[in-house]
Amino acid sequence: MRIKFILLMLILVSGLPVFAQDTDSTKIKLVELDSIIVTGDSYKKASNRNSALSIEVVGKDFLRQHFAGNLVQSLGHISGVRSMDIGSGFSKPMIRGMAFNRISVIENGIKQEGQQWGTDHGLEIDAFNVEQVTVRKGPVSLLYGSDAMGGTIEISRNPAPTENQLFGEAVLLAKTVNGTLGGSMMLGIKKDAWYTTLRYTEQRFGDYHVPTDSIVYLTMRIPLYGRKLKNTAGYERDISLFTEYRKRRYSMNYAISNTYQKTGFFPGAHGIPNISRVQDDGNSRNIELPYSSVNHFKVTSHQQYIWDKLMASWDIGYQNNHREEWSQFHTHYGNQPLPENNPDKELEFRLNTYNSLIKIKTINSATWEHSAGWDIQYQQNRIDGYSFLLPEYNRFTTGAFSVSTWKPTKELSFSGGVRYDYGKVNISSYADPYLETYLRDMNYSDELIEEYKWRSYPVNRNFSDISGSLGIVWNPKDIHWIKANIGRSFRLPGANELASNGVHHGTFRHEQGDPSLSSEQGWQLDVSYAYENNGITFSVSPFTSWFSNYIYLKPTGEWSVLPHAGQIYRYTGARVFFAGAEASFEIDFLKYFKYQFSGEYVHTRNRDERTPLSFSPPASMRNTLIWQSKLFNLYSEMESIASQKNVAKNELTTPGTNLFHLGGAANISIGGTLVEVNMSLRNVFDTKYFNHLSFYRKVEIPEPGRSFQLLIKIPFKQKLK
């Protein structure tokens, strides 16, 4: 059935261009004129005018200034967005205190699918290939389904050049903190209705420098030779192809990308710490056991057709996320034999995802606008390795939504919508015979053996729920923006929350799922005010959320029967409260100077346990002074991070810090080519500090020390007839 469905989609996609060729174009000029009017008002203003949610839009200038070779770390400079670092240059996003499966990353109209639930699993996207990012803060379940209840990060492309041309760029990257050497080459062509780009990227880096000589984990002091985290070297290799066709009222694009990452794990933070494993081997760029490798292959297609008052689009996609973790064979119970094939392959995930999204938008008048959509997703996960946390599963979800906007005046608009989702998950069971034998040898009772021998229970569950929202946007005199949005959101529990059972090295604990969990449900209120006039910009955005069944890992107080596992942490639903605010201020003065301020605060509370949630971000603010001329700019920034003492049970508190950063950019004309040079010096004073959200926080590993970064972009362009 699934194969027939995919073939049907491909036939329809191939047939749409044929249908488009015979279309009457007498009314196309009106459609094109409308699009010019919208884009001329700046994409950011248009986005905020059409949405009651808090939206941040950043383009190439922002991304170049804050480029880190890692998209999430670059977006961490946006108020309300945090980077959950993994320790080897990879990160995952957090928006207003929510992360993992509560944040959706959208690229080319399709949700990026991998192991979002894993704290040590990063985002597999080529940072060099990102041109524009839209961050939607707050519940976006209405448009993107259950995994977007905390917000979305939407990656989009800039419009194609208007002139026929051959163009491209070469980008070089170097960082001192881990000896990064990287580059990216892009070649593109715009010819009449066709627009195509091809990009290849590669980065290689060595062991990270940190401002400390040792760390302490479980009372054991572990030395760091040369102030380096041994075996945190790695490399990334990406290739992507994008092609677009526009003819009259029809447009389509296809995108193919493949991202491969391989990086080592610091031996003192994977498994049981051992001083002998962290001794210097004299090579800071080699990758030894333990390490991880991940390959993300993705194919997407977008089809769009415009009538007089109707626009229809179709997005389809296929993704294969293949992750492996390799570690010298070890077992938590001595009777498990060495595997015959790939004995050091600890675990493997092979996740295949199929997506389809159909959307229709109508503009019946100057005051009413309606949109509707229907999406389908099917996932298949398969596993391998001598140890695993998550079992095999199949997952199917589908949802339909309708959204309407009423604009009684130019300054005022109201929006509202409703969505229904259905999901089905089928998780395989697995009984571990070696664990059962071990428990019998340890003289555990038959009842306990029967309970714990199952590494995963069979789960066959159906879920369904409704989400909705109401919002208002008021824009008096075009210099004030007042927005408010209230929404009901939900999230279907993930396979890990329903059925995981085992030692998770990424969090250093025994994690158990609960097959009886219900879907998350909550209400969220978002209000924002913005002022923009005469070089002064100010905004403030308070928000609050209430969840009646927020799923989190709860320490049970039960001791795990698995050796070296400690107590059991079980996924549990609870009543949870979020509240916080973001504020920003910007002013231009003395012709060439600009001052920017941004700050954020998030408060979380588990009302059942009367404790904060784990991974609650500390308050922070940035003060930035910029000098900018036509071809040059310089900036200095002080980043202040408050201490985080409001922590969950068994979670470490984190002291605050002040960090200083410097940077600048220059556009230099060389042989008629305008070369872009960006330089930055992060953590100028080599301050030792901890990231409360870091994968390595629990083992007392500080963040990287002082780092100088150089980014050089060399573009070229040749007009074609």
DSSP notation for 368-408: EEEEEEEEEEEEEEEEESS--SS--EEEEEEEEEEEEEE-S
pLDDT confidence of residue 717: 93
- Per-residue pLDDT for 5 more than 80? no
C-alpha–C-alpha distance, residues 562 and 541, integer Å: 46
Neighbouring-strand partners of residue 529: 482, 540
8 Å CB contact between 207 and 225: no
Label the pairing between strands 165-175 and 180-191. Answer: antiparallel
Q: Closest Cα partner for 228 from 205, 206, 209?
A: 209
Confidence of residue 141 (pLDDT cuts 50, 70, 90): confident
List CB contacts of 180: < 8 A, sequence separation 6 or more: 69, 89, 173, 174, 203, 204, 205
Label the pairing between strands 151-156 and 104-107. Answer: parallel
Give the lowest-confidence range in 51-55, 380-384, 626-630: 51-55
Confidence of residue 564 (pLDDT cuts 50, 70, 90): low
Q: What is the mean pLDDT of residues 448-468?
A: 86
Considering the chain, what percentage of its residues have pLDDT values greater than 70? 89
Give the lowest-confidence range in 143-152, 411-420, 579-588: 143-152
Give the lowest-confidence range in 129-138, 367-376, 494-503, 518-527: 494-503
Q: What is the mean pLDDT of residues 648-659?
A: 92
C-alpha–C-alpha distance, residues 467 and 147, integer Å: 12
3-state class of 691 per DSSP?
coil
pLDDT confidence of residue 6: 38
pLDDT tens for each residue of 669-714: 988 899 999 999 999 999 999 999 887 887 788 998 999 999 999 9
Considering the chain, what percentage of its residues have pLDDT values greater than 90? 59
Confidence of residue 44 (pLDDT cuts 50, 70, 90): low
Residue predicted with more confidence, 148 or 619: 619
Give the lowest-confidence range in 5-19, 70-84, 404-418: 5-19
Q: Which helix (H) or strand (E) holds 4?
A: helix 2-21
Instruction: Give the chain's mean pLDDT.
Output: 87
pLDDT confidence of residue 431: 82
Q: What is the mean pLDDT of residues 416-424?
A: 95
- Per-residue pLDDT for 14 more than 50? no
Residue predicted with more confidence, 620 or 34: 620
- Per-residue pLDDT for 31 more than 70? no
3-state class of 344 per DSSP?
coil
Label the pairing between strands 412-427 and 430-431. Answer: unpaired
Give the lowest-confidence range in 55-59, 321-325, 327-331, 683-687: 327-331
- Per-residue pLDDT for 25 more than 50? no
C-alpha–C-alpha distance, residues 550 and 102, integer Å: 11
CATH architecture of the domain covering 2-719: Beta Barrel (2.40)
Written as six digits, the tokens of 560 are: 């795990």
C-alpha distances (whole Å) from 628 to each of 63, 230, 664 are 17, 40, 9
Give the burial string for 650-678 (b: 16+ CB within 10 Å, else e).
ebeebebbebebebbbeeeeeeeeeebbb
pLDDT confidence of residue 450: 81
pLDDT confidence of residue 19: 35
Confidence of residue 507 (pLDDT cuts 50, 70, 90): low
- Per-residue pLDDT for 20 more than 80? no
pLDDT confidence of residue 127: 93
Confidence of residue 348 (pLDDT cuts 50, 70, 90): very high
Written as six digits, the tokens of 629 are: 């001329």
pLDDT confidence of residue 273: 59
The torsion angles phi and psi of 426, rounded to 5 degrees, stand at -125, 110
3-state class of 351 per DSSP?
strand
